[in-house]
Amino acid sequence: MKIKAYRTQFIQALSTIYDEGEAESFFYLILEDKKQLKRIDLALQPDLVFSEEEIVVWNAILEQLKLEIPVQYLLGKTHFYGLEFEVNENVLIPRPETEELVEWIIQSQKLEVRRGKLEVGSEKLESKKMKILDIGTGSGCIAISLAKNIPNAQVFAIDVSEKALATAQKNAERNEVNVTFIHKNILETEDLEQEFDIIVSNPPYVRNLEKQEIKKNVLDNEPHLALFVKDDNALIFYRKIAELAKQNLTQNGQLFFEINQYLGKEMIVLLEKMNFKNVELRKDIYGNDRMTRSSVQ
């Protein structure tokens, strides 16, 4: 059977669950994984075919997609900030919004290096080590991306889930970076026991009242431990992490958060009440309040 003909059937079979663009993106993700072919390859070679054995495999995947199992879990991997990550039911699938948070951190450090060079002349500040902590690391996507892109950084990452940490460790090895992973419940932590130049976290922030907004494939498959907080204490993780940051950030150290899009103003109030300086709220590519940066002095 020609691959182009199967593509049409594949998209139609998912049309009652996903829009056409999303179903088509699934098709090409699977095509690249299973047959090492990209969209351009199919355009240039329209007569390419699937064998009967390949159609059996594809049909099995299609049935799982109809059950709204995320395609990333079916493939066992996803891409984030130009890197490949293993993902499974123990970790959240990284989102594009989180890539924006990583980009903000990386660009802020490049700016600091440039400022430093202007201040001290020819001294190579890239050689000056810095320490970064990622709290609630999950798949390790934030910590690993930062370790890969900030060569002078020593990166640490915390998670309450040992299974998530095992996945994150595999991802660090896959991407050839060194990250120190720590099993810890941050809500029960009184002190981080060392100082960091940057603390970053994408903690659970979806309130139970917002569950109806969550797609079924997320709600039924991704770990609720990493997603949800109680309606009456939605900022519990932010408050605790900010308290620890006050104790464990270096002078002029920075605190970055990914946040609930509906609680941007509340986050600013929280950080300012805790005497953080230079509090900044930034929107994501979809126009939602999504991340904050603040500092201690």
Q: Domain boundaries in the chain? A: 3-67, 92-295
Q: What is the mean pLDDT of residues 264-287?
A: 97
Residue type, 49: V
What's the CA gap between 34 and 134, in Å, rounded?
A: 33
Looking at residue 217, its pLDDT comes to 86
Asked if 252 contacts 108 with a C-beta cutoff of 8 angstroms, the reply is no
Mean pLDDT of 181-188: 97
Which residue stretches of the chain are H helix? 3-13, 20-35, 39-44, 52-66, 71-75, 96-120, 141-149, 162-174, 216-219, 236-248, 264-273
Q: What is the pLDDT of residue 297?
A: 75
Residue whose entry in the numeric block shows the structure tokens 């934030």? 142
Q: Mean pLDDT for the chain?
A: 93
Output the pTM of the full model: 0.90
Residue showing tokens 């079924």? 216
Per-residue pLDDT at 118: 47
Using one digit for the tens of pLDDT, what is the confidence trace for 22-55?
Answer: 999 999 999 999 999 999 999 999 999 999 999 9
Q: Please compute the mean of the pLDDT values over residues 174-182 and round it to a whole number.
A: 98
Higher pLDDT, 116 or 142: 142
Residue 128: which pLDDT band, with cuts at 50, 70 and 90?
Answer: confident
The whole-number average pLDDT for the span 218-230 is 90
Judge whether residue 163 has pLDDT over 70.
yes
Report the share of the chain in percent with pLDDT over 90: 87
Radius of gyration, CA atoms only, the chain: 21
Q: What is the pLDDT of residue 150?
A: 95
Q: Which residues contact 296 (CB under 8 A, 6 or more apart)?
A: 245, 246, 249, 251, 252, 253, 255, 276, 277
**Residue 175, token pair as written in the block:** 């991407």
CATH architecture of 92-295: 3-Layer(aba) Sandwich (3.40)
Q: Is the pLDDT of residue 251 over 70?
A: yes
Please compute, for residue 245, the number of CA atoms within 13 A of its CA located in the half-sphere on the CB side.
31
Per-residue pLDDT at 132 exceeds 80 = yes
Q: What is the pLDDT of residue 122?
A: 42
Q: What is the mean pLDDT of residues 208-230?
A: 89
